[in-house]
Chains A and B, each alone.
Chain A
């Protein structure tokens, strides 16, 4: 099929524009990675680096030698693993129960969940509740109040709605009760969907910042984002210097090494996420 000149120009222009968009998106990340691997002496010498002459792991070595930074990564990893597991259990089981039309009170509960999506009482009542539950300064304050989101429950319920009733019926005929049907039949079928939700929950837990800021008093309990904020925005490296043995590299390379380290887990997880939402399986969740 012969393409007209106009179409050909459009095709090339399109290709170029998209390429520029990709470059603009990638550039900040590229810059951060490059500077983080730059030898500190070279960074001080030149005012800006677009491609380093001397590569060095000095910044990373310093960063990972400090107890504080490594500990905050450990805290975030703990939150992500435990939080995601608990979130999946709570969200999925509620969503499955709500997807069964025979459940009494189903509509009332769904209405209530909808209301929680539309109306948020705010920061103060939530803070008061956490305080009353004696969760202040505990890592559980970062997990328990965030266990399930109304959106996710409804989305997962929609997913369970699509599982044909015949499966459940034939299991019932074979004498299975709801619990064993849930464990033996529904869950194995739902693994891809659970994995997708799990990854989204995990990223959410990893990126938690504000809750940790207001609920945690102990610097030792800081998750990675709070640690990062301290380093980046307050130029405060005192927590780090307390433990390190070597002289600290220039602030900028150190900060960039921290940013890269905090981002690497997300990037590792990202290809798995892409598989699910690129196909539009999470279309509904994007609406919110």
Chain B
């Protein structure tokens, strides 16, 4: 390999068909030998993905068996789609479905527009200091764990000693039931999500807004456009594609609800509205030990989620936007 040519292999080589199988094998051996340290570097990661991502995918087969931990996968009898049939016939199924959809729809309507609005407002702030000050504050809850956030929720809204109820009592009103009230459960989840992720969600939009040429704003200002008008005709169209992509991806994740969030807010009084697919799998599978049945439930949810994401991605691409992949 002379020093004057580009280093062999930094430019991907077009497949060459001369020589047949033996020559291909020889080239393969040469490449592997030349790049051997690359494979050494890749090895830990590859082993990790193989063991912890690839192998569990095969664990799915127990959804089609009556799995017993003693017999193992090899020794457990096959039952085909029985667990799925039982899952769909279970009245719990509609409850899970309804809860998941309700939480996500509420999220879509109430939570989704907020980062957009917030980023528009942030973009209009003249003082860079104030903008960065507000950003620092609203980004922070994203880094807090759900344990902390549900803890904060309890500290503020608990009936016994929560801030809101303490204030109500001091004002002469009676204490209200917020956290054990099934009618308020979905709203509480949405409020939590807004508090935690509302600020963080502005990042993508602000990045898109930052790429707008300031001269366009200048021209509009000279033509007499007010700030609101500028926002409507310049800023909004610029983030349109980000909004569309995020919206489509969100629809692709309609089966997903934050497990830890729901799990931590769950209590007996709200069980009818709080149970979602993931918490059901935890309850029935890990707590009650019905491995096969719960795997079937989890598999159903994962497959539907996958189909939704693939469809969503395809729609995004058809509309000319970038997808996730």
A residues whose Cβ falls under 8 Å from a Cβ of B: 1, 4, 6-7, 10-11, 14-15, 17-19, 21-22, 24-26, 28-29, 31-32, 47-48, 89-91, 93-98, 100-104, 109, 112-114, 116, 118-129, 144-145, 147-148, 150, 153, 165, 168-169, 172-173, 177-179, 182, 203, 206-207, 209-210, 214, 225-226, 228-229, 232-233, 251-252, 255-256, 259, 262-263, 266-267, 270, 273-274, 277-278, 280, 282-283, 286-288
Contacts and interface: CB of A to CB of B under 8 A. Distances in A.
A97 B141 CA distance: 35
Contacts of B150: 232-233
B22 interface: no
B170 to A, nearest CB: 6
A283 B124 contact: no
Interface string B133-158: 11111111101111110111011100
Contacts of A119: 57, 302, 305-306
B163 A210 contact: no
A169 B49 contact: no
Chief secondary structure at chain A's binding surface:
helix
Contacts of A101: 10-12
B98 interface: no
Interface of B: 3, 6-7, 9-13, 28, 31-32, 35-42, 44-46, 48-49, 51-60, 62, 118, 121-122, 124-126, 130, 132-141, 143-148, 150-152, 154-156, 161, 163, 166-167, 169-170, 195, 199-201, 203-204, 206-207, 210, 221, 226-228, 246, 249, 259-260, 263-264, 278, 281-282, 285-286, 291, 294-295, 298-299, 301-302, 305-306, 309-310, 324-325
12 contacts: A7-B226, A18-B121, A22-B134, A25-B137, A48-B166, A102-B10, A122-B281, A178-B38, A210-B259, A232-B151, A286-B201, A287-B249
Given A18-B134, A125-B57, A153 B155 contact: no
Chief secondary structure at chain B's binding surface:
helix
Contacts of A233: 150-151, 154, 264
Nearest to A125: B59
A127 B146 CA distance: 21
Nearest to B222: A1
> Which 5 pairs across A and B sit closest by C-beta, in order of nearness?
A94-B45, A125-B59, A102-B9, A122-B298, A178-B37
